[in-house]
Amino acid sequence: MRFGVSILTAAALLAAPVVYAQARAPGLQTAVFAGGCFWSEEKAFDDVPGVRSAVSGFVGGHTANPTYEQVVRGGTGHMEAVQVTFDPRVVSYRALVDRYWRTIDPTDPNGQFCDQGPSYRSAVFATGEQRADAVASRDAAMRVLRKSFTTPVVGAQRFWPADEAHQNYAKRHAASYQAYRIGCRRPERLRAIWGDAAVS
């Protein structure tokens, strides 16, 4: 996710009120996935029927209100992640986790594709109610891949939205995102892992 980042300007955490308001809306639920570049994870869930929003941010660390620069520099313990707000009457949590595996290389413990390092590690952050579905999805995906996964299913933790400059990046900066995607060889590497089931 290093392509084009230097041209981004810092902005206030404008997404935060939207994220938490949607999470509390009647009947809606949230799912949190860390999978390397949050631009790519957001894009992978944006247009799924039943998904109301996919927000880029950070999870799993010990610093409140982390900035992108702090997380990338290291030391906060956070991973880049996406918070997916969805209507379970349209799409199930299990279906979202099933999709998630096909967006990453779950055998890489150190990051994803050209994004390597602690902030780019992958993980499913599941609530107590979501855990059984997340583990069942992981086990089913492992049987398909016939390899052990290094991506863990862990307990839910606080999600912090990234600044506005990072939201909807793939849509707002399509050329820059495409350059990053091709430069990382993301589509080819995902197809090599998942075949036609890959979500790139």
Q: What are phi and psi for residue 92, nearest 5 degrees? A: -85, 160
Please confirm, yes or no, whether 37 is among the known catalytic residues.
yes
Classify 135 as helix, strand or coil: helix
Q: Is 153:137 a contact under the CB 8 Å cutoff?
A: no
Residues with Cβ within 8 Å of 146's Cβ and at least 6 positions away in sequence, in order, are: none
Chain CA centroid to CA 159, Å: 11
Catalytic-role residue among 37, 97, 124, 162:
37
Q: Is 180:37 a contact under the CB 8 Å cutoff?
A: yes
Please identify every residue annotated as catalytic. 37
